[in-house]
Amino acid sequence: MNMRLWAILGLIFLCLNSLSANENFVCTVCQKHVSRGFTVKGSFYCPDHVESALPRCYNCDQPISGRYHEVSERKLSICSTCREKIPQCFLCSLPADPQRGGEALRDGRHVCADDSKLAVKTAQQARRLFQQAEGEVRDTFGSALRLKDPIARVELVDLKGFERAAAGSGHINGVKAGKVLGVTTVVFVSRGEEKWLEPAVIHLLDHVSSRRMLSVSAHEYAHVWQAQHHRDYAQTKPILREGFAEWVAYKVAQRHGRQDQMTVMMNPNGGDYYLGLRKFLELERQRGVEGVLTYAKKATKI
Ligand SMILES: [Zn+2]
Ligand SMILES: [Zn+2]
Ligand SMILES: [Zn+2]
Ligand SMILES: [Zn+2]
């Protein structure tokens, strides 16, 4: 599961135009006629009230009059100072400011105050969320996505443990950057004519918010289902596997009204995850949910 770091959505430059002295303007806030002031986004402000029109930094709450950054899927305004001087949250790229509840984790990651409040920190919590996600997949798809064999275990790990679990998964760069939040390990075994699949093991990265972890869990569950049902899973392209898993997670988020999660999944910087999701949604429009599931069991690419 790729995290799709939101990073900077846009670098915004706010233009404060000083107006000419011999014209008469009405301040949007105090309604007084003044000869000098500023326009901000098309409205006029006297020098006393221009500050109220400026965006404020979500982290330090200072008014921003120059360049600033829009960060995370919430598009929050962050001043250049906070952006440059404070370590960024591994999940959403907001400043993880220790003075405002941000956390520095032992494995080198930083978590912003907002995500820290929702962070999943115990294995018990993670397993409960995974079970909830399994229930939500059932609510969304009925018995169509039932597993043939149960999942062996679900582990919650820090970045170091996650890197070990993901070694050889092809995800290693994303894992190092903290962008991949879940890894499913499925081992195919063959002895002579006999072939079988060892029970899957799932590793979830800790300190991910509970809402995100539900999406990651649905995604990893979908990998297990597809591995158990595909006739030639080893031949499938990453875009097919990640696209299908994202589509399952997306449908679950939609069904349970988690718009924020749908927005995260629809981030165009998501590579195969995003492109694959778009293709599966298109396939669903053409063939319906049944058609998508049939496709997911046979196709090697999309
Ligand atoms: Zn995945
Ligand atoms: Zn005024
Ligand atoms: Zn700031
Ligand atoms: Zn964050």
What's the CATH number where 14 sits? 2.10.110
Neighbours of ion ligand 1 (CB under 5 A): 1, 242, 245
* 181 and 280 belong to one structural domain: yes
Q: Cα–Cα–Cα angle for 93, 96, 101, nearest 5°?
A: 140
* 82 and 33 belong to one structural domain: yes
pTM comes to: 0.83
For the chain, give the mean pLDDT. Answer: 88
Convert the pLDDT of each residue in 247-288 to its tens digit.
999 999 999 999 999 999 998 888 889 999 999 999 999 999
Asked whether residue 104 is domain-assigned, the answer is no
Beta pairing class for 8-13 and 67-71: antiparallel
Angle at which helices 210-229 and 123-141 cross, to 10°: 60
Q: Cα–Cα–Cα angle for 93, 99, 104, nearest 5°?
A: 55
Asked whether residue 93 is domain-assigned, the answer is no
How far does residue 67's CA lie from ligand 2's centre (Å)?
Answer: 24
* 23 and 133 belong to one structural domain: no
Q: What percent of the chain has pLDDT over 70?
A: 88
How far is residue 194 from each of residues 35, 189, 200, 227, 229, measured CA to CA in Å?
87, 8, 18, 17, 16
Convert the pLDDT of each residue in 38-51 to its tens digit.
887 788 888 888 88
pLDDT at 15: 56
Asked whether residue 43 is domain-assigned, the answer is yes
Confidence of residue 6 (pLDDT cuts 50, 70, 90): very low
Ligand number with the minimum distance to the CA of 99: 3
What would the DSSP string read from start to end of 179-205? Answer: -B-EEEE--EEEETTEEEEPPPEEEEE
* 38 and 130 belong to one structural domain: no
* 80 and 167 belong to one structural domain: no
Domain limit, last residue, from 60, 87, 114 = 87
* 61 and 129 belong to one structural domain: no
Ligand number with the minimum distance to the CA of 86: 3
Angle at which helices 238-255 and 271-298 cross, to 10°: 90
How far does residue 83's CA lie from ligand 3's centre (Å)?
Answer: 7
Angle at which helices 238-255 and 210-229 cross, to 10°: 130
The stretch 88-109 carries a mean pLDDT of: 94
Range of the domain at 205: 123-298
Domain count, the chain: 2
Give yes or no for a contact between 86 and 59, defined as CB atoms under 8 angstroms apart. Answer: yes
The H or E element that residue 9 is part of is: strand 8-13
* 132 and 235 belong to one structural domain: yes
How far does residue 273's CA lie from ligand 3's centre (Å)?
Answer: 32
Give yes or no for a contact between 69 and 8, defined as CB atoms under 8 angstroms apart. Answer: yes
Asked whether residue 50 is domain-assigned, the answer is yes
pLDDT at 1: 37
269 vs 141, higher pLDDT:
141
Asked whether residue 113 is domain-assigned, the answer is no
Residue 18 pLDDT > 70, yes or no? no
Ligand number with the minimum distance to the CA of 81: 3
Strand, coil or helix: 8: strand
Beta pairing class for 17-18 and 33-34: unpaired
* 80 and 139 belong to one structural domain: no
Asked whether residue 237 is domain-assigned, the answer is yes
Asked whether residue 257 is domain-assigned, the answer is yes
* 76 and 144 belong to one structural domain: no
How far does residue 245's CA lie from ligand 1's centre (Å)?
Answer: 6
Confidence of residue 218 (pLDDT cuts 50, 70, 90): very high
Asked whether residue 290 is domain-assigned, the answer is yes
* 83 and 161 belong to one structural domain: no
